[in-house]
Chain A
Amino acid sequence: MESVGSTIVSWMIVIAIIVFSILTVTTRKILRAATYLLFTLFAAAVLYFKLDYEFLGAVQIAVYAGGIVVLFVFSILLTSHPGDNSRRLTSRRRVLGLVAAVLTLGITGAVLFSRCSMMATQLPAMENPSMKLIGETMLGTGAGQYLLPFEAISVLLLACIIGGVVVARKR
């Protein structure tokens, strides 16, 4: 049985994720969309903290809130006037988007609720993964350890840096 405070925090996370993600795609000012995206990402980080993955929550805040959203805001300010509204949607496009989203919601929701017995799983007890365990998992070569993806990501990031410079530089 969880404490009342813990339950309240869970409900706040759930409501924040739903409300802010809907606002992200419905607001007509793009700078506001970026801000609501930031709130959604924060809610996700709080969820990671709540589920005992402190390291992951910290990474989420540092990389998403500290890196990606700042990049979004910079590029929005570079490419559009902050006060502008986006153009009104044509009804055909909106209907198309709604149909795709509602279909996905319906089908996936039906599958989800048909597995009700599994979904009623309660939160099992778990010790927080220590930094030692995380480091060994990330840099080990044994079974269930991830040195090769780690190195592949480093090569990917290098390629991304070079690609970004080549694409965005002035000619």
Chain B
Amino acid sequence: MDISMIYYLVPTLVMFCCGIYGFITRKNMIAMLISIELMLNAVDINFVIFNRYLFPGQLEGMMFTLFAIAIAAAETALAIAIIINLFRAHKNIDVSDITKMKF
């Protein structure tokens, strides 16, 4: 049997919804960041799938994904720097316990 587009779009949809669920339910900041990575990746995969199935031979979706990966790396590095700084100040990185951002 042939694998059509929908077989790849459904798992990415599930992946995105997992990201939403994790982002709302998690309290640990790093776990929230992991959920954000899940959502970003789902969108990246969708770009590639649409490019491959609907516009083969062009590179727009692939370039978007490349740049999105670079931006995701930068974002993660900065977020982790902020989280480690917060940990140093509060000894704890639960979002519910951190009520003020200046110290």
Q: Which residues of A contact B (CB under 8 A)?
A: 1-2, 6-7, 10, 13-14, 17-18, 21-22, 24-25, 30, 33-34, 37, 40-41, 44, 47-48, 51-53, 55-56, 59-60, 63-64, 67-68, 71-72, 75-76, 78-80, 86-87, 89, 93-94, 96-98, 100-102, 104-105, 108-109, 112-113, 116, 118-127, 129, 133-134, 137-138, 144, 146, 149, 153, 156-157, 160, 163-164, 167-168
Contact = CB atoms under 8 A, between A and B. Distances in A.
A89 B56 contact: no
Main secondary structure on chain B at its contact with chain A?
Answer: helix
Contacts, number: 221
Nearest to B25: A97
A153 B70 contact: yes
A137 B80 CA distance: 32
Contacts of B4: 119-123
Nearest to A108: B13
A25 B87 contact: no
Main secondary structure on chain A at its contact with chain B?
Answer: helix
Interface residues of B, number: 71
Given A33-B31, A127-B57, A156-B71, A21 B38 contact: yes
